[in-house]
Structure 1
Amino acid sequence: MDVLSDAISAVRVGRPSSTRLRVAGTWCARVAAYDGAGFLVALRGSCWLLPDGGGPPLTLGPGDVVLLPHGTGYVLASGPMEPQAVERAVIFEEWEARRTAPPPANAPALAELLCGKYLLDGRHRHPLMAELPDVIHLPNRVGDHVELRSAIELLGREVTQDAPGAGVVLPGLLDLLLVYLVRAWMAQEPAATDWSAALADPAVAAALRALHEAPERPWSNELLAARAGVSRATLGRRFTMLVGRTPMAYLAWWRMTRAATLLRDTEAPIDTIARQVGYGSPYALSHAFNRAFGTTPGRYRAARSGG
């Protein structure tokens, strides 16, 4: 396990969705805010994106990508719009339902868009994800983010065909896309957040990897510092400054977050989950879990499953 994968898996719920649109002429639609993350890729032509909250409008050209990690709403349009037109923008789902046949390939001002959403559980949001800005714009530049571009190309093809295995391929590609989007932004803005700096710090990154790979181990500050190859004092100072918690406080928090994910996504017995996250008994896990979430593991699992 690695920190970015864990940060995403801790909050991912349900199945992601995506659609590929071909639009022409003058149009304007509003995507409402939602509990999750959204993305938009301009495959062909151009469009205009105005995020809620007063952010600057973005003009997107072929290959440009936008990630909205916190479900920020936005207006999507064929080009810059007057304020009155923005106010009258049709809700995206209504606008999409009204559209008839796709425009012909030779239509003027044709734009081809790939957009989608991920459902995220904000209650277990990892601080790495929480630190991401509301809008991440990744312009298309030759040679940049090769893996991301490959995933976009594959996804763009897959959403237009009803091929065998699509039920497995599409969610897998969408999950890959989210990882590549966050990874690309971190590479593009290496000092933008404390967590970017934490993963770039060799000692802190080594300590984080150890905690994520084996949260069940009886870690101590001394053992963790030895794994990171620095003194206990050095690790404690750098870890706390960049992560925002001491190593042991982060371990306790991560164990609870991991337990919640396992309760939500698996049918493993609670005593098995307790061992997987470093507790010697279901009672010990229940006590810590109740302190962190205000409920017992069993009740939490029943609530998440609708039972």
Structure 2
Amino acid sequence: MRDPLSEVVSLLAPYAPEIKLAEASGPFQVQRANLDRLFYCLAITGEVLVSVNDAPPIQLNESDFILIPEAQKAAISSIQPTTTSFIDKPQQTGPGRVWIGEKGGDISTRMIIGHCSFECQDKDMLLSLLPSTMVIRGKDQIAAITSLIKEEVLAPKPAGETITDYLLRILLINAFRSAHLTNNLPSLIRGLADKCVAKALRAIHEQPAYPWSGESLAAEAGMSRSAFFSRFKDTVGMAPLSYLLQWRMAKAKSLLKEGKETVISIALEVGYGSSSSFSSAFLRHEGVSPSAFRGQLIENR
């Protein structure tokens, strides 16, 4: 059976184009604005406070990892408060390496910070299915991954950037998978943590072309229609049929991007009986026809 989270992450296709090792001494605080990207911070040594989008700061201890899918601005500071409102400007000390805080002091904090980009054409829709903030405390498998990342960053070896990128992808997926443990806001991950809702979500991903109705999805979940609709919206954040439409459109856009299938074959694969019905639904949802969407992708290559 298909795993909905794996499919969402696969369509997002995250990669880490910007990875920096930040070393700090003494009290410090740095800020970044106009990010509009997925932001992450991994504490390697020491402790740090991270505040994203003006939210209350979250303390990260050694090997803790924070991931914010849609960050507009971020502030990172030492646990020890600064005596002024001065904002430090990171100083480049080498490729992918910056220094923050007192010059010449002993290193009190090391962290890996960066941004992720996505190859997906529909990242906004897919990111809306994920929690707004994910904090993973360093233990078990996470600790093993962070230890490997730390080794690659502190002692660079041939192909180290490639290995670090893959390790960060694994860390991202672990953050997505574990998010329901630290976040109660509606999301796909929280829906998958609910046994009844998860059955309906897996059914949608297993057979997106099936003519699902509210009643048939409720039957998959083993619930009454009204109870199912209420629980689905409470956990996932949208109605079941809205999720079905969103997923069909995301799947269609991915297939259009690949360019291997005809519009009619894509229509049938995502649950439409004809190219005209699919084109009409796609136009309502995206504002352009499937053919025009594919043409735009070709022009932008």
TM over 0.5: yes
| Residue of 261, 282, 292 corresponding to 2:285 | 292
CA distance in 1, matches of 2:160, 2:44: 24
Query: Is structure 2 residue 266 aligned with structure 1 residue 268?
Result: no
CA-CA distance at 1:294 after TM superposition: 0.2
* Cα contact 1:38–1:69 (8 A) shared by 2: yes
CA 1:171–1:239 in structure 2 vs 1: closer, same or farther (change >3 Å)?
same
Q: For residue 65 of structure 2, what is the aligned residue in structure 1?
A: 65
* Cα contact 1:44–1:62 (8 A) shared by 2: yes
CA-CA distance at 1:241 after TM superposition: 4.7
CA distance in 2, matches of 1:22, 1:2: 39
Q: For residue 24 of structure 1, what is the aligned residue in structure 2?
A: 25
CA-CA distance at 1:99 after TM superposition: 6.2
Q: For residue 218 of structure 1, what is the aligned residue in structure 2?
A: 211
Query: Is structure 2 residue 167 aligned with structure 1 residue 173?
Result: yes
% of aligned pairs identical? 28
Partner of 2:114: helix, strand, or coil? strand
| Residue of 81, 92, 97 corresponding to 1:97 | 92
Q: For residue 198 of structure 1, what is the aligned residue in structure 2?
A: 191
Partner of 2:116: helix, strand, or coil? strand
CA-CA distance at 1:256 after TM superposition: 0.8
Q: For residue 85 of structure 1, what is the aligned residue in structure 2?
A: 86
Q: For residue 118 of structure 1, what is the aligned residue in structure 2?
A: 116
Partner of 1:34: helix, strand, or coil? coil
Q: For residue 248 of structure 1, what is the aligned residue in structure 2?
A: 241
CA-CA distance at 1:212 after TM superposition: 1.5
Q: For residue 301 of structure 1, what is the aligned residue in structure 2?
A: 294
* Cα contact 1:16–1:174 (8 A) shared by 2: no
| Residue of 196, 200, 204 corresponding to 1:207 | 200
Residue 57 of structure 1 aligns with an amino acid whose one-letter code is: P
CA 1:153–1:285 in structure 2 vs 1: closer, same or farther (change >3 Å)?
farther
CA distance in 1, matches of 2:190, 2:15: 31
Residue 213 of structure 2 aligns with an amino acid whose one-letter code is: S
* Cα contact 1:38–1:118 (8 A) shared by 2: yes
TM-score if structure 2 supplies the norm length? 0.78
CA distance in 2, matches of 1:254, 1:214: 11
CA 1:73–1:284 in structure 2 vs 1: closer, same or farther (change >3 Å)?
same
* Cα contact 2:185–2:235 (8 A) shared by 1: no
* Cα contact 1:41–1:114 (8 A) shared by 2: yes
Partner of 1:268: helix, strand, or coil? coil
* Cα contact 2:268–2:274 (8 A) shared by 1: yes
* Cα contact 1:20–1:156 (8 A) shared by 2: no
CA distance in 2, matches of 1:254, 1:29: 38
CA 1:281–1:172 in structure 2 vs 1: closer, same or farther (change >3 Å)?
farther
CA distance in 2, matches of 1:233, 1:25: 57
Deviates more, 1:176-185 or 1:237-246: 237-246
CA 1:225–1:136 in structure 2 vs 1: closer, same or farther (change >3 Å)?
closer
* Cα contact 2:186–2:236 (8 A) shared by 1: no
Residue 261 of structure 1 aligns with an amino acid whose one-letter code is: S
- How many matched pairs? 288
* Cα contact 2:16–2:115 (8 A) shared by 1: no
Query: Is structure 2 residue 76 aligned with structure 1 residue 76?
Result: yes
C-alpha RMSD of matched pairs (Å): 3.3
Query: Is structure 2 residue 155 aligned with structure 1 residue 163?
Result: no
Residue 203 of structure 1 aligns with an amino acid whose one-letter code is: C
Partner of 2:70: helix, strand, or coil? coil
Extract unaligned runs of 5+ from structure 2: none
Partner of 1:84: helix, strand, or coil? coil
TM-score if structure 1 supplies the norm length? 0.77
